[in-house]
Amino acid sequence: MKTNASWGGRFSEGPKEAVADYTESVSYDKNLAPQDIRGSQAHARMLARQGILTEEEGRILVEGLDKVAEEIRSGRFVWRSELEDVHMNIEARLTEIVGDVGKRLHTGRSRNDQVGLSFRLYVSDSLAQWQVLVRALVQRIASIAADHADHILPGCTHLQPAQPVSLAHHLLAYAWMLRRDYDRLTDTLHRVRTSPLGAAALAGTTYPLDPVSVAEDVGFEGIYPNSMDAVSDRDFVLEALFDGSLIMTHLSRLCEELILWANPNFGYIRLSDGYSTGSSIMPQKKNPDVAELMRGRTGRVDGALMGLLTVVKGLPLAYNRDLQEDKEGFMDANHTVSTSLHVMEGMLSEITFNTDRMEEACRRGFLNATEMADYLVGKGIPFREAHHITGHAVALAERKGCTLEELALDELRGLDSRFEDDVYPVLDPRAAVRRRETPGGTGPKSVAAQLEKLRAWCAAGAE
């Protein structure tokens, strides 16, 4: 086994084969190649600007890296695991292409700050992509909600029928969760877009670098004030993973509802064939596997977050090789989050809502009991007492096997003499929805206002 060309000077023997396999990261960090090349080109341009390299050398390095990028894109690049990671693979190939000047690229830089920049660029690109997908999903939910502003279903607490709500209102709750996820990503991105370059191995460097200009060159907002923090900080990945976990949590909750709603006992929705699967033994089955997998995959992202929190918790300053463990979890999470957002958008676009069934469900389960109590309050009865009288009405209806509105006026009067004929229109579930016009309530004006805000937000993103 050969010694590693980039650090093997003091070694008389290369790593054992099992050790080389154990320590390599190129098998997965090769995904960082485009970002690593962007970072290296910015570094090379800065070295030339600062007179640390000649302009000619800077140009040769930048163009050489373009050639390496092209080889990687076209699949011609040969990845060598004995070169450990993406950084050394790219540098070795660059030096083959441009000759000895390739060996100058690493001036004033360590792999510790290099990997930090490459991975921050990777996380930054990933989060920007999540934002595009989140916005598309919000837009989809808003447009479905707009089609269902007039439909009602039982809103639940404790998964028990509580009060009727509009279907639009129910769906928009998810749009607002995702809207917050979007903002959280924006906030995280400020911290992700901070460049560690210039920290070198841990203490800074003796070359007259201009790290701020490198940060600007790659589109970042600034640099770290402390070099030891710069090379060992993984907050940016942890935050990104948390944001991903929360996105998945929101998708998972929606999945759970879709799974329930698709159950024939609810019968509120039909998932399209393209987003369902069958059973190999029970011919009648149509299973919501896509929603189930999405709910299940939430665990992978949560796992990546917990995994990395655990990796980082005991690390002394500054860089430790443990930090190489930040990548696979994030890459897996990235794949899970982006495919889930995309698939959810498609699945929702093909759902059929059985709105008759939803409306019918509003007429069972005494969802209008609060309306009756509020009606009695309107007749001057204190709420606690009104609640009690309504409780008696529910018990009576239950005994008779009917709904509250099916109780005759003299039966209601038997419970309290203040009931009058005008109670019946109040008990209509549609009227119950119409009356709830507090800000953020399920009333039509409130729902229209929500839709308006979300639409404006989606349109602003499309500019």
* Catalytic machinery residues: 158, 279
Asked whether 171 and 148 are in contact (CB, 8 A), the reply is: yes
State how beta strands 222-223 and 194-195 pair. parallel
Handedness of CA 429, 432, 434, 437 (dihedral sign): negative
Q: Does 85 bind ligand ARG (CB under 6 A)?
A: yes
- Chain position carrying tokens 């990235």: 334
Instruction: Fill in the DSSP letter of residue 117.
Output: H
Q: Does 199 bind ligand ARG (CB under 6 A)?
A: no
CB 324, min distance to ligand ARG, A = 4
CB 74, min distance to ligand ARG, A = 25
Q: Which residue is nearest to ligand ARG (CB)?
A: 324
Asked whether 325 and 308 are in contact (CB, 8 A), the reply is: yes
Q: Does 233 bind ligand ARG (CB under 6 A)?
A: no
- Chain position carrying tokens 């479905």: 144
Q: Does 36 bind ligand ARG (CB under 6 A)?
A: no
Q: Does 313 bind ligand ARG (CB under 6 A)?
A: no
Where would I find the H helices in 197-234? 211-217, 227-232
Q: Does 324 bind ligand ARG (CB under 6 A)?
A: yes
Q: Does 195 bind ligand ARG (CB under 6 A)?
A: no
Q: Does 323 bind ligand ARG (CB under 6 A)?
A: yes
Structure tokens at 340: 């889930």
Q: Does 25 bind ligand ARG (CB under 6 A)?
A: yes
Q: Which of 10, 321, 384, 399: binder of ligand ARG (CB under 6 A)?
A: 321
- Which of the stretches 111-119, 124-132, 236-244, 421-429 binds ligand ARG when contact is defined by CB under 6 A? 111-119
Q: Mapping DSSP to helix (H, G, I), strand (E, B) and coil, where does residue 443 land?
A: coil
Q: Which residues of 129-157 are buried (b: 16+ CB within 10 A; e: fewer)?
A: ebbebbbbbbbbbbebbbebeebbbbbbe
Compute how many residues bind ligand ARG; rule: CB under 6 A: 10
Q: Does 10 bind ligand ARG (CB under 6 A)?
A: no
Asked whether 435 and 445 are in contact (CB, 8 A), the reply is: no
CB 10, min distance to ligand ARG, A = 14
Q: Mapping DSSP to helix (H, G, I), strand (E, B) and coil, where does residue 109 land?
A: coil
Cα angle value 128/310/337 (rounded, 5°): 30
Q: Which of 40, 41, 89, 112: binder of ligand ARG (CB under 6 A)?
A: 112
Nearest CB to ligand ARG, comparing residues 153 and 323: 323
Nearest CB to ligand ARG, comparing residues 196 and 443: 196
Nearest CB to ligand ARG, comparing residues 37 and 271: 37
How far is it, in rounded angstroms, from Cα 413 to Cα 418?
A: 7
In this structure, the dihedral spanned by the alpha carbons of residues 27, 28, 31 and 35, taken in order and rounded to 10 degrees, is -100
Nearest CB to ligand ARG, comparing residues 31 and 287: 31
Binding residues for ligand ARG, rule: CB under 6 A, are 25, 29, 85, 111-112, 115, 319, 321, 323-324
